[in-house]
Structure 1
Amino acid sequence: MSGGTAILAVLVGVLGWHYVGYPLVLWAVSSRCGTEPASADLLPDDDLPPVSIVIPAHNEADGIEARLENLFASDYPTEKLEIIVASDASTDGTVAIAESVSPRVTAFNNTPQNKSATRNRGVERASSDIVLFTDVDTRNRPDCLRRLVTPLTDPDVGAVCGTLVSESFDDGAIGTGMSLYWQWEYFMRRHQSRLGMLVKSSGAVMGIDQAYFEPIPDTADIDQTAGFMTILRGGKSLYVPKAVATEQFPTTLSGEFSTRRRLTIRGLTALWRYRTVFNPLMRPLLTLHTVSYWLLRYLIPVALLAIAVLTGLLAPSSPLIAAFGGLQVVFYLLAGVGYAAEHYGLNPPLTSVPFSYSWASLGVLAGLVAFATGTRVYAYDL
């Protein structure tokens, strides 16, 4: 085997490990060694602790009232709720509207605009030990808060994350691709949770015990840091599947691309901030999770490019590699057809997955390049 062929085999193996090998190993280990959270039964009203909910908001005058009404409509006792609207340099009256909804709502305006700094100030104002996080455009199911809080009453549990369901999974090729991605994502979150090692959350439906909280870096997000905050302090970070909230994910080409780019920059920033997790001598299982599940997703686009180049170079000398190259050509041709179809509002069944995967990969690659050249994200529309 030549050096080029060996490198190609390694790169293909990396893809296989990320998408198939690691999930299978995670499933096997968690099935044998993991446990379901002990507090599976929901707590009655009298046993529920007071909770602070922090909502970052930037110019959300049109949506903040509806969001607050949705939270107060939950089955969590209203007298135990404290809602803090952390306005991120809003200029449209978001603070005044929020405070007019209920005396249980407090709001403030933070300047200059910086989402993480604003969220940190919200946590500083929280009077409860348990702090939940959500967004203005999120909608909770009635039992969502109760389901998130119940496991956090265990002092060994530091962070929890629920299930965020998009209302746009059926919206074109991007929505179809998102649906498949999130099925894969929640499979792994479920089994990481059985080991108490959920390393990444959904920022719109999650919570943390303040005993495990530390201020969020300016260029990272709570959903990318809460797991590390908790696990590195000896606590458990869990996924609560039945704590469900809904949200409209962006499914336009520009929306999906910019989201992938932004999340990649913020994610890599968080990984750099907590880079001690990459030391396998300290926490080998945490290192395995973080590299296999999280870091590799940002490196996959580079691997795909390298595979395409190596395949082209090696194809003339190997019928097997030439056949492999043919499969890649078909895949990317289907992606191209899907891209063209998207502009006409069409979603041919054979093209949606190749197109949505390739488009998301381009967004991740753009984020990787931006991060490597020094770009950081401090604020964005929420």
Structure 2
Amino acid sequence: MIELLLAIVAIGGVVAVVYSYALYPLALFVVGAISQGLRDVAFVFRKSERRLEMQRTAAGTEPDWPPVAVVISAYNEERHIVSRIENLLALDYPADRLRAYIGSDGSRDRTAELMRRFAHEPRLVALPFEQNRGKASVLNDLVSRTTEPIVVFSDANTYFERGALKKLVSRFDDPKVGGVTGELRLLGNAGGDNQDSLYWRIEQFLKFFEARIGALLGANGAIYAIRRALWQPIRPDTICDDFVIAMNVSAGGHRLVYEPKAWAEEDTPEAIGEEVKRRIRIGIGNFQALVRHPQYLTRTSAATAFAYVSHKVLRWTAPHLLLLALAASVALAVQTGSTGWALYAAGQALAYAAAWAGWQMSSRGAKLPTLVKLAAFLFALNWAFLVASWRYATGRYAGSWGRTSR
């Protein structure tokens, strides 16, 4: 009986991780294709599916765009804050319908001073808070001051494409839609793709097809929007605020949709070490959300729950599953004397050692083949999740800001 349980752990742990990273995208593609096919059939017979999408493109009409609030919480962003405000003021959106609420969270640099340069601008509400309270608290404060029916969230180091706001807001024509997330395009230091670009593209693929089956998970913090009426204040120590804010909308029975035509750009560091620091912090926020918000599984749609477990929960717990699988494999090899189990354990250990070596080489700036770079990134990602789970379990984290280059 013990050997059977060990075998289940040894094989099941690896299978679960392989499923999350490799098989789930395939399954999602198939389900998404079937879902789209059924909608196409419904459209052919009922002619009712796509009319909302056509309303804003009716010839000779200019839509009655709703008032929009853009909310940004900034900390030590003197490098970006001026160009970010200028970016918002230059957006293709009616000036009398757009207002930006930007709060400086006790910044210790010139962020608040630079914000004051725009004191004459009626479209900007600049709030230079003196006390550093954390991003979540500032977001709660900023949103409480808004009156606009649509609230758009973004970051101080992100730049919207000029027409992004209209594309984002247009999806709210559907009264069932409670939130819309746009697309973030990551740039490297030289203006090209960042070091985890292949992984990022896979994530965009998953986001697209999850949205197709009505299972979009959270939002992209750089560019997303919700209906003001659906806003729920978040706890002050919340780390993954974008995920929690959007999933609260989903758990309330409203649709989250993805609009890739509404895009924004953001620089990201080439150094994998910088990315690991950021991933550890995000990982802590992931475990925080998993423990605090069981309603994301119990009160969302079946499709959302399926995607949440497959895409998120299994990813967050992947290093734990792999370590358990390795330990069970070693135990079986010792207990049974089986050459097969010994080789299975050795294969796992060698694969992890090779990925670790790739991570170390990448951290030193070595140019690696794409697949080796991806393996190194995945090792770093899972290492970050492992460290994050330990810090969350031991309470070694805070809700205040954690600075990286991105």
Instruction: Tell me which residue corresponds to 1:207.
Output: 225
The aligned length equals: 379
Change (3 A) 1:200 1:106: same
Instruction: Tell me which residue corresponds to 1:140.
Output: 160
Contact residue 98 and residue 105 of structure 1 kept, 8 A = no
Measured in 2, the distance between the counterparts of 1:224 and 1:188 equals 16
User: Bigger CA drift: 301-310 or 34-43?
Assistant: 34-43
Contact residue 99 and residue 106 of structure 1 kept, 8 A = no
Change (3 A) 1:315 1:180: farther
Change (3 A) 1:258 1:351: same
Measured in 2, the distance between the counterparts of 1:31 and 1:181 equals 22
Measured in 1, the distance between the counterparts of 2:339 and 2:191 equals 40
Instruction: Tell me which residue corresponds to 1:28.
Output: 30
Contact residue 69 and residue 148 of structure 2 kept, 8 A = yes
How far did residue 344 of structure 1 move?
3.9
Instruction: Tell me which residue corresponds to 2:44.
Output: none
**Alignment pair present for 1:82 and 2:99:** yes
Change (3 A) 1:181 1:343: closer
Q: What are structure 2's unaligned runs of at least 5 residues? A: 41-48
Percent identical residues: 28
**What pairs with 1:176-187 in structure 2 (closer than 5 Å)?**
176=195, 178-187=196-205
Measured in 2, the distance between the counterparts of 1:20 and 1:356 equals 16
**Alignment pair present for 1:342 and 2:344:** no
Across the aligned residues of Structure 1 and Structure 2, the Cα RMSD in angstroms comes to 2.8
How far did residue 364 of structure 1 move?
1.1
How far did residue 345 of structure 1 move?
2.1
Contact residue 219 and residue 269 of structure 1 kept, 8 A = no
What do the CA deviations read for 1:198-226 (whole angstroms, capped 9, x no partner)? 12211111111112111122222331113
**What pairs with 1:1-382 in structure 2 (closer than 5 Å)?**
2-33=4-35, 38=50, 39-40=52-53, 45-101=62-118, 102-110=121-129, 111-168=131-188, 175-176=194-195, 178-220=196-238, 221-279=240-298, 283-315=301-333, 317-349=337-369, 351-381=372-402
How far did residue 255 of structure 1 move?
1.6
The one-letter amino acid of 2:109's match is: D
Measured in 1, the distance between the counterparts of 2:271 and 2:143 equals 33
Measured in 1, the distance between the counterparts of 2:179 and 2:306 equals 20
How far did residue 53 of structure 1 move?
0.2
Contact residue 98 and residue 107 of structure 1 kept, 8 A = yes
Q: What are structure 1's unaligned runs of at least 5 residues? A: none
Measured in 1, the distance between the counterparts of 2:190 and 2:202 equals 17
The one-letter amino acid of 2:95's match is: T
Measured in 2, the distance between the counterparts of 1:53 and 1:372 equals 35
How far did residue 186 of structure 1 move?
1.4
Bigger-Rg structure (1/2): 2
How far did residue 305 of structure 1 move?
1.5
How far did residue 170 of structure 1 move?
8.3
Q: TM-score, normalised by structure 2?
A: 0.84
User: Bigger CA drift: 222-231 or 33-42?
Assistant: 33-42
Change (3 A) 1:26 1:170: farther
Measured in 2, the distance between the counterparts of 1:170 and 1:299 equals 34
Q: State the secondary structure of the residue aligned to 1:351.
A: helix
Contact residue 158 and residue 222 of structure 2 kept, 8 A = yes
The one-letter amino acid of 1:63's match is: H
Change (3 A) 1:31 1:123: same
Q: State the secondary structure of the residue aligned to 2:230.
A: coil
The one-letter amino acid of 1:205's match is: I
Change (3 A) 1:376 1:333: closer
Measured in 1, the distance between the counterparts of 2:86 and 2:282 equals 29
Measured in 2, the distance between the counterparts of 1:147 and 1:62 equals 28
How far did residue 361 of structure 1 move?
1.0
Q: State the secondary structure of the residue aligned to 2:225.
A: strand
Measured in 2, the distance between the counterparts of 1:62 and 1:365 equals 33
Change (3 A) 1:261 1:208: same
How far did residue 355 of structure 1 move?
1.5
Measured in 2, the distance between the counterparts of 1:25 and 1:71 equals 39
Q: TM-score, normalised by structure 1?
A: 0.89
How far did residue 128 of structure 1 move?
0.7
Measured in 1, the distance between the counterparts of 2:23 and 2:375 equals 21
Change (3 A) 1:185 1:104: same
The one-letter amino acid of 2:297's match is: F
Q: State the secondary structure of the residue aligned to 1:162.
A: strand
Contact residue 271 and residue 365 of structure 2 kept, 8 A = no
Change (3 A) 1:29 1:342: closer
User: Bigger CA drift: 30-39 or 186-195?
Assistant: 30-39
Q: State the secondary structure of the residue aligned to 1:218.
A: coil
